[in-house]
Amino acid sequence: MERPFCAFCYASSDKLLKCGQCLQRLYCSAECQRNDWKTKPGGGCHKLYCGIAGEINVDYEIKDTGKDGVGVGVFALREFDKNDMILTERPILKVVERQLVSHNINEIPKTAAPLFESLLPVDGRFQQKWDKNAMDCTGEEDAKKESGLFLVLSRINHDCLGNADHQYLAHRGIKILVAAKHIPKGHEITISYLGSFKPKHERNIRLLSYPFHFICRCDVCTNDELDQKLARTKDLDRAILTLGAKGKIEVAMRKGRALLSLYEQLQQSTWLYQRTYYDLFQVAITKKKYYKDAMHFMEKAHEAALAYTQDPQHPQVLRLQELLISPETHRNYRIIG
């Protein structure tokens, strides 16, 4: 991990080329630089995120956490503001969930082998490394669940309320890591491994069993008040659509506002705001009386999706933009009622 490596193929070398624009991203060859610039799956999308996304050993570093049994982690080398893109990364291998075969190991580029080998468990078999490190790569419009292996993102440690959040952009073939809150220089960057929020006992069971095997001692796990606040976000989140379906729009909107204010207190990811604003739109657009509220929610949802992805072509951004222009295309639209 000491020697710098190519941002595209992970070949490590002391003689790397720099991107001529940001003067930060490193490449082993002009070919890797060209491939990294491409914005379609298979490319690195640096054209979109040159000078926007952080770079290794400039904005963040991989180093030992000094904590027993944890190993390395990813640390901020500068402060990040909420919604700053910490990094973007392409999977070195992606498969439909549960369809991994041992032969897939041959698809990992030779240049990436040393970094792959250093993934936990260090002496583990391919399947064990995959289970411990693979991350969700299911796109917005994908029916099949997919997961992928990332060589930098996989070094990020768990926290039940991570200070960063990730999203796979299937139309780009990359994952983005976005700051959920302000991250001071020197702090460790963390994400939750558990997807949606789960009660403490469920989290403990999941994290203690295969493939994780650790006891979480994050702020949420050691502070009951914080844990209860997070549990409340889950209840409120569920309540919005349930109440909406029963026609209780006022109450649903009240719950939604309470949820947004909890997000604010907990400094949650902007992607969650996007989801909640969208849910509120879906509820409010069912009655003419709440049309203005609905459009306000949609504006906020669109704004949040764009701030988070910084990609005007993201399917969700496009979908929200269309609803902003033509709300009547939503199946819940009942302007007469």
Binding site for Zn ion (CB under 5 A): 6, 8-9, 11, 19, 21-22, 25, 28, 32, 50, 160, 216, 218, 220-221
Contact yes or no for 214/250 (Cβ under 8 A)? no
The torsion angle over the Cα atoms of residues 323, 329, 335 and 337, rounded to 10 degrees, is: -130
Q: What's the min distance (Å) between Cβ of 322 and Zn ion?
A: 32
Q: Which is nearer to Zn ion, 32 or 260 (CB)?
A: 32
Q: What's the min distance (Å) between Cβ of 202 and Zn ion?
A: 12
**158: helix, coil or strand?**
strand
| Block residue for tokens 């409340």 | 232
Phi-psi region of 24 (alpha: psi -120 to 50; beta: other; left: phi over 0): alpha
Tokens of 34: 């060209």
Phi-psi region of 227 (alpha: psi -120 to 50; beta: other; left: phi over 0): alpha
- C-alpha to C-alpha distance for 320 and 301, rounded to whole angstroms: 7
The H or E element spanning position 166 is strand 164-169
- C-alpha to C-alpha distance for 297 and 277, rounded to whole angstroms: 5
Q: What's the min distance (Å) between Cβ of 336 and Zn ion?
A: 48
Q: What's the min distance (Å) between Cβ of 110 and Zn ion?
A: 11
Q: Which is nearer to Zn ion, 29 or 321 (CB)?
A: 29
Tokens of 74: 């990813």
Residue 307: Cβ within 10 Å count: 16
Q: Which is nearer to Zn ion, 32 or 284 (CB)?
A: 32
Q: Which is nearer to Zn ion, 28 or 74 (CB)?
A: 28
Q: Which is nearer to Zn ion, 25 or 172 (CB)?
A: 25
Q: What's the min distance (Å) between Cβ of 216 and Zn ion?
A: 3
Residue 211: Cβ within 10 Å count: 16
With b for 16 or more beta-carbon neighbours within 10 A and e for fewer, the 124-147 pattern comes to: beeeebbbbbbbebbbeeeeeebb
Q: Which is nearer to Zn ion, 80 or 197 (CB)?
A: 197
**The dihedral sign for the CA sequence 175, 34, 75, 114:** positive
Q: Which is nearer to Zn ion, 53 or 240 (CB)?
A: 53
Backbone angles phi, psi at 223, to 5 degrees: -135, 105
Q: What's the min distance (Å) between Cβ of 205 and Zn ion?
A: 13
Q: What's the min distance (Å) between Cβ of 95 and Zn ion?
A: 23
Q: Which is nearer to Zn ion, 50 or 241 (CB)?
A: 50
Q: What's the min distance (Å) between Cβ of 161 and Zn ion?
A: 8
